[in-house]
Chains A and B, each alone.
Chain A
Amino acid sequence: MRIPVSYISTLLLSGIALFFCHGSVESTFAQSQSSSVAPLMKLLKSGRIPAQRQGTIIELICRKGNQDDLGYIWEQIITDKLKGEMKEKSLLSLKESFQNRKIVPAGSLNGIAALIDQKPPLNQTAVELAGLWKVPSAAEQLQELALSKTTNNKLRIAAIDALVSIGGPESIKAMQELTRDHSPNEIRYLGAAALVSLDLNQAIDAGLKILTSNESGDPTPLIAAILDKQGAADQFASAINSQKISEDVAKKLLRYMYSVGRSDKSLSDALSKAAGMAGAEKKLTESEFKQLVVDVISKGDPERGEKIFRRSDLSCMKCHAVSKAGGEVGPDLSPIGASSPVDYLLRSILYPNQAVKEAYQTYMIITSEGTIVRGIIVDRNEERIILKDANGKQIVIPVDDIDDEAEGGSLMPQGLTKFLTRDELVDIVKYLSVLGKPGSYAVRSKPTIQRWLLMKNIPELILSNEHPDEELFEEHVLRASGTEWTPQYAMAAGLLPFEELNSLATNSKLLLQAEINVTESGSVGFRINSAADTKIWIDAHALESKLENQFPLEKGLHKLTLLVDLENRNDRGIQAEFFKPADSKASFTVVGGK
């Protein structure tokens, strides 16, 4: 049953409760007899719309149409009347109409089998649809995909999800198979995560086996699945209380939990105990709080604070940017110290739910299947709500699937301070309190490079070749896929410290890239603190290894790449900026963000 939580206050005047129905008119769009997209169907069937422009109309039909309307589109897909990109788009539209409205095309769905055998990206969508529509006849194919060693990870996850959705003993068996210890741990976790919604006891048993194995690896899929399932966190907590997991694993689980803004008491307590951290936090007394404020002002060290802020176990930069570089879930903190006093900052970290800026108010939704979704509302209408979670991922929930919903405070995790000593907390608040104030933490005024992309595995061809030619460079660096790169954020004042990068170097070398968006073409300069042992490229064009370069740039996005050999560098890091040479007409911005 849906319990609408009115976030308009209902006025109790004279004891009469006045209920507002805010748009929650009982919608019957999904099963209505007469289709509200009749004019669209007429237009589509009339043939007046050129084939290459049918994408939008099909999307609109899928958005509002009934089963028969969708059945017509489905038929166009499986009979190959829709081709190529239009076919992919239409399939995605069908998927979206299920995600938003849980509506399935009329007629036989067995045609999905043929689509699962197609090439990417069609097969991916087809696998997802087989799960959403719960097509039993596809189960066998899906099991093969889930278990096959050659399936890529994305497709495997989709196949597993689909099997979970279809359910049944066969699916459970397949998932059990995945968790066996002959598989690599990352696949075992996927299996255990899938079992969470099929059979929680089995999932926890299997999960603990992996967590207590020698190579525990990254438990994200498992803990994410447990947090998403209503009631699972408590059960997992009691399992942990009775079975020992290592401090390291417990910390990993706890860190993940906090990083997505969850602080369920039982699990948080159990993991804190296992991690050897202080148990339940006690709320500070008024005088303790005041003393903290005093200490921040008198003893806090912003430099130390910045290092703590950047620590990956705190996940601060996963959500917050400083000087435009970092996550975009929470607000950019560059000017925060200029507008927020110390006690407000301290409160925001200790009690993040007390004062939430309007744009960051979260919502918590429990679906009829018992899944918990928490995030900021991106958009909502009568049919569905879209939430953005702490990972920046958007999740669509059909209104019909909502079992309960409530305002959920801030996405900012409660309990973060567990990872901090008191001195560290004092330093981090000090750091925040100076951000944006005049001085070395002022809002940056120069176009320094704050967000770098670091290439994880530098291709041998680039490392070994003293002067790689432009074609080679383009192929292996400029066109390298997104997954090859991780973002690295410079400190507020612009320095990218080597000490945080050493472990990421390939043969002591770092390949770093910055992006610049040119809006008026002209001459642009690049300046770096040291060019020692450094090669520099703008796009595929090699520049001289010197402190300053100037080059003409056309409108559009350009990439500046550095290859730095750390072997003989003894300085602290890289600090670089673009600049506008005198008389240049160029206009540009340095790309920041996540």
Chain B
Amino acid sequence: MKNFLKIGLCLISATILILSNREVQADQQYLKLNPQDHVVFIGNTFAERMQNAGYFETLLHSRFPDKQLVVRNLGWSADELTLRPRSKDFQDHGHNLEDHKADVIIACFGFNESFAGKKGLAKFEADLNKFIDTTLQAKYNGKTNPRLVLFSPIANENLNRHGLTDCKENNKRIELYTAAMQKIANEKNVLFVDLFTPSNKLMNNGKHPLTFNGIHLTDYGYQQLAPAIDVALFGPRIKSGSTVDIKKLRAEVLEKNLQFWYDYRAVNGYYIYGGRKAPFGVVNFPAEFAKLRKMIQNRDQRIWAVAQGKTVPTKIDDSQTGDFVDIKTNVKDLSSIKITSPQESQNKFELPPGFEINLFASEVEFPELQNPVQFAFDNKGRLWVCTMESYPQYLPGKNVDDKVLIFEDTNGDGRADKQTIFANGLHLPTGIELGDGGAYVAQQPNIVFLKDTDGDDHADYKEIVLHGFDSADSHHSISAFTWGPGGDLYFQEGTFHHSQVETPYGPRRLKNAGIFRYEPRTEKFDIFVSYSYANPWGHVFDRWGQNFVADASGGANYYGTAYSGDLDYPRKHAGMKQFLKKQWRPTAGCEFVSSRQFPDEMQGNYLLNNCIGFHGVLQYKMKEDGSGFAADPVEPLVKSTDTNFRPVDLQFGPDGALYLIDWFNPLVGHMQHSIRDPNRDAQHGRIWRVTYNKKPLLKSPDLAKASIPELLDLLKTYEDRVRYRVRRELRIRNTEKVISAVNKWVAALDTKDQDYQHNLLEALWVHQNLDVVDTVFLKKMLRSPEPKARAAATRVLCYWRDRVNNSLDLLQVQVNDDNPRVRLEAIRALSFYHDPKALEIAVESLIHPQDYYLEYTLKETMDTLEKRMEAE
């Protein structure tokens, strides 16, 4: 599936001829195009992804080279006919159908709607009728009614991948909705293209998969389907002597689409057209977008020229597209802006006795280290970091080149001496996590999976795996990537955002902040916490799988179990107390001390970065508080008097030292200065390393080279971060071998070891990582003598509930457990059910002693279940 990118484009014209018009459902009715027509796509992720593929659009221009068609793709992840949430005042941004003067509208709906099944069909039909009527009556081009084409959803593909749905049920529903669309289109005399049938055929006949997750076409998939669309819309191609260079034409199409993407899906919309456009955005952005829109028109012209067989200069001439407004800083006291050298910064740190801080890397030795945001260690012990020199956002005409860098300390002196550029050309990678043989990287509004397939440490495979995370405020966008112990990837976004993501299990939506949870193996994707955060930027799991969340803007910190029960969009969890009393704000990143390199008395402490006012790492001592936790402040670990020091991520490294990345910037506010304030710094960035000088460094295990049994033994390691990286490594080993080895490992564990129950829990998490459900083992852990293990096993049960028989009976036992945290996990888990029995079980928890979190979570679970019962 990885190398299809490389399959030649020359196949296209051949494929066109192979497809006969037997595939075409539209009888003799074809779409008629006039010169200079504006063709606009609207609809869901199928439409949105078309712009990255560009195959159909290339065919369109090659078929009508003289018509000078203006093609605009307004597709939007998970859009439905009547549900298209956008951030505030998006309608003022200039991308309504009137703004684009649409003559032809190609509408791709029905897939997300189809998850409502038979029950939802009547509503869908009514909505579709209304949509057609309204559309056909409008005059978006100011003169005539538009021509409308309806595309059916494509078929879903059975990838025969362990854990992933075979899509059978999906396809039944899609067929049902496709038939309804066809019926209504006939009644209304609207052109309809059935994509279900040809895509289904391609999926069944092809040697290669067309999708990467069952529902979204890969580049190859779009390439295969494009001719079918072309023929369905315009009839069979007559062999012509066309000399169009399809490859060149597609390159021009993709370049136009890229610039249009920067416009349509501009990041920081809140500062361009939304709630915070004044007083700064209204000054700089109008000129920027005027220029960008002229650049897009330039690209239309190049497309037409190439389609007509003309040659165009390699370099695009954008000289006539206008100028930017000169933006002056609003920093009046320029002496306050002083870039400190790494050495000067070094001298401004204060740490408790016995601690040292040293520079691991900086822009001085590694000029590419600019505005680093998040980092992770790979299984060879190397540090990967994403950088954002293009921050706060793309400037029209200036290519973005944000990067993922790999740093290595090859001689063990605690400083990086080697840098590799894993990926470049990125735009605002606000988050990164490694896994599954590559890297998951935020590319608002998407998440891409990048992978090196040929061993040169440079990404040569790229797939957008998730779409639709809002980017209305780029510094509220998806961030703080972290794995849960079960192999689930978490990331967060802040308020103002309206996100919607298509999954093989239906669309998932979130408005105004929350945390996402993604299982790459099964493609399950859910809203993990829907909460009215300002801007969460920190998420960490403790040794026993309990999670904690830091909200950056207000400096709030929350205990995660209590408010991560299920609820239905657009509900949000009620306000919950914080587990510690805020000292400072804003924060960015949290971590538990779990390193034998650090003093014994610090173990388990909660560390929290703070970047305005107090510049450093705050420290809190954790304590049990009934079913939950509380924490008290103790002496901060790091404190700097350099106000440029902005620690934004922290993590213990394989050597047991604490690593910190420093965004390094004299200005940080989004609201306090123009987005284009010249004093925003994009040239600096540092990585610092904190060690304790009274204890030795830890030996960094080479996980990448370790055998499976060696890896399993490493699960007994004290350090949370070692076990974290071991689980991540085991995920990419052969599933059967790992499972067979882990079962042997469990059998051989020393039952008298004081960590025996924790070791067992690690084995259960390995099962969860590999998505291998072992009910017998799970049941054993649900009744472990260690309550912390019972609580963690209850969380596993929650995510296996669809594959464990009588899971409600098991939860009934947990709800009546002696230990309050086990009861809390059970009450949380019950919110995921649609069965009235879950409610009856949840209230049984009232027989037992109560505390704040138990009461809070019970209320939340009851609300979710009651709402579902009302809706039934």
A569 touches B (CB below 8 Å): no
Instruction: Check B635–A587 contact: CB distance below 8 A.
Output: yes
User: In the bound complex, what is the Cα–Cα distance between A308 and B859 (angstroms)?
Assistant: 47
A570 touches B (CB below 8 Å): no
Instruction: Check B138–A60 contact: CB distance below 8 A.
Output: no
From the candidates B87, B332, B570, B612, name the one contacting A297 in the complex (CB within 8 A): B332
Instruction: Check B97–A14 contact: CB distance below 8 A.
Output: yes
Closest to B621 in A: A519
Instruction: Check B84–A297 contact: CB distance below 8 A.
Output: no
- Considering only residues 388-446 of chain A, those with a C-beta below 8 Å from chain B are 436-438, 442-443, 445
Closest to B858 in A: A60
Instruction: Check A338–B613 contact: CB distance below 8 A.
Output: yes
- Considering only residues 619-670 of chain B, those with a C-beta below 8 Å from chain A are 621, 632-635, 639, 641, 643, 668-669
Instruction: Check A520–B634 contact: CB distance below 8 A.
Output: yes
A86 to chain B, nearest CB (A): 13
User: In the bound complex, what is the Cα–Cα distance between A341 and B280 (angstroms)?
Assistant: 13
Q: Which of chain A's residues have a CB closer than 8 A to the CB of B855? A: 56, 59
Which of B378-386, B449-457, B479-487, B839-847 contacts its partner?
B839-847
Q: Which of chain A's residues have a CB closer than 8 A to the CB of B632? A: 517, 519, 587, 589
Q: Which of chain B's residues have a CB closer than 8 A to the CB of A347? A: 279
Q: Which of chain A's residues have a CB closer than 8 A to the CB of B839? A: 39
Instruction: Check A334–B613 contact: CB distance below 8 A.
Output: yes
From the candidates A16, A40, A331, A587, name the one contacting B843 in the complex (CB within 8 A): A40
- Considering only residues 1-30 of chain A, those with a C-beta below 8 Å from chain B are 7-16, 18, 20, 22-23
Instruction: Check B134–A14 contact: CB distance below 8 A.
Output: yes
Instruction: Check A354–B613 contact: CB distance below 8 A.
Output: no
Instruction: Check A64–B535 contact: CB distance below 8 A.
Output: no
Q: Which of chain A's residues have a CB closer than 8 A to the CB of B613? A: 334-335, 338-339, 436, 443
User: In the bound complex, what is the Cα–Cα distance between A517 and B496 (angstroms)?
Assistant: 37
Instruction: Check B866–A36 contact: CB distance below 8 A.
Output: yes
Most buried by B among A13, A23, A293, A378: A13
A466 touches B (CB below 8 Å): no
Instruction: Check B847–A589 contact: CB distance below 8 A.
Output: no
Instruction: Check A355–B332 contact: CB distance below 8 A.
Output: no
Given contacts A335-B613, A445-B639, is CB(A355)–CB(B276) below 8 Å? yes
Given contacts A15-B134, A48-B847, A293-B332, is CB(A519)–CB(B633) below 8 Å? yes
A379 touches B (CB below 8 Å): yes
Which of B4-12, B88-96, B204-212, B233-241 contacts its partner?
B88-96
Instruction: Check B614–A443 contact: CB distance below 8 A.
Output: yes
Give A313-325 as 1s and 0s: 1 = Cβ < 8 Å from B's Cβ atoms.
0000000000010
Q: Which of chain B's residues have a CB closer than 8 A to the CB of A344? A: 330, 669, 671-673
Closest to B849 in A: A53
Instruction: Check B84–A13 contact: CB distance below 8 A.
Output: yes
Closest to B576 in A: A379
B71 to chain A, nearest CB (A): 17
Instruction: Check A343–B330 contact: CB distance below 8 A.
Output: yes
Instruction: Check A357–B671 contact: CB distance below 8 A.
Output: yes
B197 to chain A, nearest CB (A): 28
- Considering only residues 101-158 of chain B, those with a C-beta below 8 Å from chain A are 102, 105, 131, 134-135, 138, 140
Given contacts A9-B89, A64-B862, A359-B554, is CB(A43)–CB(B844) below 8 Å? yes
User: In the bound complex, what is the Cα–Cα distance between A224 and B496 (angstroms)?
Assistant: 33
Give B189-226 as 1s and 0s: 1 = Cβ < 8 Å from A's Cβ atoms.
00000000000000000000000000000000000000
Q: Which of chain A's residues have a CB closer than 8 A to the CB of B135? A: 14, 16
- Considering only residues 266-300 of chain A, those with a C-beta below 8 Å from chain B are 293-294, 297
A94 touches B (CB below 8 Å): no
Instruction: Check B330–A15 contact: CB distance below 8 A.
Output: no
B13 touches A (CB below 8 Å): no
Q: Which of chain B's residues have a CB closer than 8 A to the CB of A22? A: 511, 570
Instruction: Check B612–A339 contact: CB distance below 8 A.
Output: yes
B321 touches A (CB below 8 Å): no
Give B607-623 as 1s and 0s: 1 = Cβ < 8 Å from A's Cβ atoms.
00000111000000100
Q: Which of chain B's residues have a CB closer than 8 A to the CB of A59? A: 855
Instruction: Check B140–A520 contact: CB distance below 8 A.
Output: no
Instruction: Check A18–B82 contact: CB distance below 8 A.
Output: yes
Q: Which of chain B's residues have a CB closer than 8 A to the CB of A445? A: 639
From the candidates B134, B496, B844, name the one contacting A16 in the complex (CB within 8 A): B134
Instruction: Check B332–A64 contact: CB distance below 8 A.
Output: no
Q: Which of chain B's residues have a CB closer than 8 A to the CB of A12? A: 91, 96
Instruction: Check B85–A8 contact: CB distance below 8 A.
Output: yes
From the candidates A7, A16, A48, A340, name the one contacting B131 in the complex (CB within 8 A): A16
Closest to A46 in B: B847
A197 to chain B, nearest CB (A): 30
A38 to chain B, nearest CB (A): 9
Q: Which of chain B's residues have a CB closer than 8 A to the CB of A64? A: 862, 866
Instruction: Check B96–A14 contact: CB distance below 8 A.
Output: yes
Instruction: Check A11–B88 contact: CB distance below 8 A.
Output: no
Instruction: Check A339–B846 contact: CB distance below 8 A.
Output: no
Instruction: Check A589–B633 contact: CB distance below 8 A.
Output: yes
A358 touches B (CB below 8 Å): yes
Q: Which of chain A's residues have a CB closer than 8 A to the CB of B323? A: none
Q: Which of chain B's residues have a CB closer than 8 A to the CB of A8? A: 85-86, 88, 498, 511
- Considering only residues 815-866 of chain B, those with a C-beta below 8 Å from chain A are 839-840, 843-844, 846-850, 855, 858-859, 862-863, 866
Q: Which of chain A's residues have a CB closer than 8 A to the CB of B840? A: 39
Q: Which of chain A's residues have a CB closer than 8 A to the CB of B862? A: 60, 64
Q: Which of chain A's residues have a CB closer than 8 A to the CB of B495? A: 358
Given contacts A11-B86, A358-B496, is CB(A341)–CB(B331) below 8 Å? yes
Q: Which of chain B's residues have a CB closer than 8 A to the CB of A377? A: 532
Instruction: Check A53–B850 contact: CB distance below 8 A.
Output: yes
Q: Which of chain A's residues have a CB closer than 8 A to the CB of B585? A: 331-332
Given contacts A60-B862, A381-B574, is CB(A354)–CB(B96) below 8 Å? no
User: In the bound complex, what is the Cα–Cα distance between A440 and B613 (angstroms)?
Assistant: 14
User: In the bound complex, what is the Cα–Cα distance between A550 and B412 (angstroms)?
Assistant: 45
User: In the bound complex, what is the Cα–Cα distance between A344 and B134 (angstroms)?
Assistant: 46
Q: Which of chain B's residues have a CB closer than 8 A to the CB of A357? A: 534, 553, 671
Instruction: Check B612–A335 contact: CB distance below 8 A.
Output: yes
- Considering only residues 78-123 of chain A, those with a C-beta below 8 Å from chain B are none
A57 touches B (CB below 8 Å): yes
Most buried by A among B135, B632, B849: B632
B18 touches A (CB below 8 Å): no
B83 touches A (CB below 8 Å): yes
Closest to A298 in B: B332
Instruction: Check A13–B42 contact: CB distance below 8 A.
Output: yes
Instruction: Check B83–A18 contact: CB distance below 8 A.
Output: yes
User: In the bound complex, what is the Cα–Cα distance between A445 and B866 (angstroms)?
Assistant: 50
A342 touches B (CB below 8 Å): yes
Q: Which of chain B's residues have a CB closer than 8 A to the CB of A23? A: 570-571
Given contacts A8-B88, A14-B96, is CB(A519)–CB(B534) below 8 Å? no
Given contacts A9-B87, A587-B632, is CB(A297)–CB(B553) below 8 Å? no
User: In the bound complex, what is the Cα–Cα distance between A267 and B729 (angstroms)?
Assistant: 69
Instruction: Check B90–A9 contact: CB distance below 8 A.
Output: yes
B672 to chain A, nearest CB (A): 5
A479 to chain B, nearest CB (A): 24
Closest to B472 in A: A9
User: In the bound complex, what is the Cα–Cα distance between A30 and B278 (angstroms)?
Assistant: 43
Instruction: Check B672–A340 contact: CB distance below 8 A.
Output: yes
The 6 closest A-B pairs by CB, nearest first: A335-B613, A519-B632, A379-B575, A14-B97, A587-B634, A9-B88
Could you name 28 residue pairs across A and B whose Cβ atoms are closer than 8 Å? A9-B274, A10-B91, A11-B86, A11-B91, A12-B96, A14-B102, A14-B134, A15-B97, A15-B140, A18-B82, A18-B83, A20-B83, A22-B570, A43-B843, A48-B847, A55-B850, A56-B850, A56-B858, A334-B613, A335-B612, A338-B643, A341-B673, A342-B332, A344-B672, A355-B671, A443-B614, A587-B621, A589-B632
Name 20 extra pairs, CB < 8 A, besides A14-B97, A14-B98, A36-B866: A8-B88, A12-B96, A18-B84, A20-B570, A40-B846, A43-B843, A43-B846, A55-B850, A56-B858, A60-B858, A324-B583, A335-B612, A338-B612, A341-B330, A343-B330, A381-B571, A386-B575, A436-B613, A442-B641, A443-B613
